[in-house]
Chains A and B, each alone.
Chain A
Amino acid sequence: MTRIFPLATVMLALIIVWYAGAYVLNAPQAINLMDPDGPHNFWAVVQAAWNMDRPVLPTPGQIATNLAASIFGNPLFSPRNFLLQTAYTAETAVTGLAGGVVLGIFLAIGIVHSRVLDRSLMPWVITSQTIPILAIAPMVVVALGNIGLTGLVPKAAIVGYLSFFPVTVGMVKGLRSPDAMQMDLMRTYNTKKMSLFVKLRWPVAMAFLFPSLRVAASLSVTGAIVAELPTGAQVGLGARLLAGSYYGQTMMMWGALVLASLLALALIGMVRLGEFWLCQQRGGRL
């Protein structure tokens, strides 16, 4: 309860500011569109500004109504249904995230266990993230398209490219985090590399894995949306965003935005769930 109250307060303040903003931004156009013979008092202008068909800034109420209409007013498998578009984006995000996490973990294992890999790979891992994803995405799509890979694969590849990075960095740190005493202890048992990994490095690294996974999960949604843009923007929330901006459909853009952030929240929630489960296994501490 003590956490809900401040959250609700901020939420309320945001909504008030939003409605005020919608009035300020939409009012000039709204006045132009108003019946010149009708009443022009303040309240009428507010009403008009909050109920435009193509507002500069739609109100939260409009976005919600629009989303509900799209979700409940269309069959589930109609492209006009936002849920279907969200499912496409989720598919891309989850596939790419899974690939990125596996890749990230394997890279970290390699880097921690081999000086050569540490020297040769780590700089490239860092460099990879200095190239903007917006520049890489079309190239990946074209390159993979040339060898016959279209649809999910290039998009998941782009997501993987974004999400492997926090996992690699976090796991390299985590797998190296056993302290000298713990290493000495394992040494007295004449522990081989494999056992050392399973019994010490991996369990210690869990405290680093989950924060990395949270970052990777939210990046995966960003990645999926960016990946949908150069693929011809056929399906997914990214496609809706692009279409919305072409045709000045702000409501469509906002709808996609809301669902994208809900998707990211859901993915982060799943990571949290895994973290919570492991925490329970360990008696309440990670």
Chain B
Amino acid sequence: MNEQTLREPAPRNASIPNDNVIVAENLNIMFDTNDHPISALQDVNLNVQRGDFISLIGPSGCGKTTLLRAIADLTPVTSGHLRVNGMSPHTAREARAYGYVFQAPVLLPWRTVLRNVTLPLEIAGMAKSDRIACARENLALVGLKDFSMKFPWQLSGGMQQRVSIARALSFKPSLLLMDEPFGALDEITRDSLNVHLHDLWRRTGMTTIFVTHSIPEAVFLSTRIVVMSARPGRILRVIESDLPMPRSLGIRDTAAFTALAHDLREALRDGHSYD
């Protein structure tokens, strides 16, 4: 099989002519705080292509969440240029262009797991039987189909996070924004969800931006890894990964994987210039 065609899954939505899903040029984001303004992102330039799997990695407080939130139109851009699917982030949000997995699960405690997953579909006005079928499918995908009638507080933190992933997948977004979705999970669950996510991404071809603190996770999942530095948040390096597809956990023992992980670690160390 041709490796190149596998790396770039065919676009699912052919109605969008342009293959640049996200374009950021000289993006700056400042926060006004009571003493002095904080520059969270400085001169960020990034181009995400359809079908890319981008990992954002960098020290805590370097602006990974801020970048994701700007793309999602949750945080206003101070200056520079940012386009999502060729639209302003605001228009893209109104078109429900993306699914967002927050750093915390943010489940509604009065709804069952199933009804938490159907929430976005309810808001979008999908028929009840359709949205339940869709939610069940996504819950099965994250391994929680037996928990659909439980309430969020009856689930462990990791399970709650998986529910929030199922919820973000519920209206089959072509762009998935994930903010440290597996941060709260144990190694083994994390590995298995990494494999699931990789398969899902390969199957659907959805463009994914994934924030993580884990070097192996970033190397395993990504087509490109964006390394950021702290204060002010800047893009330090973009590391291309040409590891073969499809990937399985065994790939982590190959020399190519180890070399990439080493590169990434070096780049990250440069970003950690606290002293």
Contact = CB atoms under 8 A, between A and B. Distances in A.
For B96, B102, B106, the residue with the greatest tally of chain A CB atoms inside 10 Å of its CB is B106
Given A182-B108, A283-B112, A189 B96 contact: yes
Contacts of A282: 109-110, 151
Contact of B110 (A181, A187, A191, A203): A203
B123 interface: yes
A182 B119 CA distance: 12
Contacts of A283: 112, 150-151, 154
B108 A203 contact: yes
Contact of A200 (B100, B108, B112): B108
B93 A188 contact: yes
B153 interface: yes
Interface in B121-160: 122-124, 150-151, 153-154
B120 to A, nearest CB: 5
A208 B151 CA distance: 20
A185 B123 contact: no
A285 B100 CA distance: 27
A195 interface: yes
A190 to B, nearest CB: 5
Contact of A285 (B96, B109, B112, B119): B109
A284 B72 CA distance: 35
A184 interface: yes
A200 B111 CA distance: 11
B53 interface: no
Contacts of A195: 123
Contacts of B99: 188
Given A185-B102, A285-B151, A285-B153, A199 B93 contact: no
A42 to B, nearest CB: 63
Contacts of A182: 106, 108
A91 B175 CA distance: 58
Interface string A252-286: 00000000000000000000000000000011111
B102 A191 contact: no
Contacts of B108: 182, 200, 203
A229 B239 CA distance: 83
A203 B112 CA distance: 13
A188 B122 contact: no
A283 B154 CA distance: 10
A286 B109 CA distance: 9
Nearest to A284: B151
Contacts of B120: 189
Interface string B69-109: 10011100000000000000000011110111010101011
A186 B124 CA distance: 11
Contacts of A200: 108
Nearest to A200: B108
B268 to A, nearest CB: 28
A200 B108 CA distance: 8
Interface of A: 181-182, 184-191, 195, 199-200, 203, 206, 282-286
29 contacts: A181-B104, A181-B106, A182-B106, A182-B108, A184-B69, A185-B102, A187-B73, A187-B74, A188-B72, A188-B93, A188-B98, A189-B123, A189-B124, A190-B93, A190-B94, A190-B95, A190-B123, A195-B123, A199-B123, A200-B108, A282-B110, A283-B150, A283-B151, A284-B151, A285-B109, A285-B110, A285-B151, A285-B153, A286-B110
Interface of B: 69, 72-74, 93-96, 98-100, 102, 104, 106, 108-110, 112, 119-120, 122-124, 150-151, 153-154
Given A190-B123, A199-B122, A283-B150, 9 more contacts: A181-B104, A184-B69, A184-B74, A184-B102, A184-B106, A185-B102, A185-B106, A190-B95, A284-B151
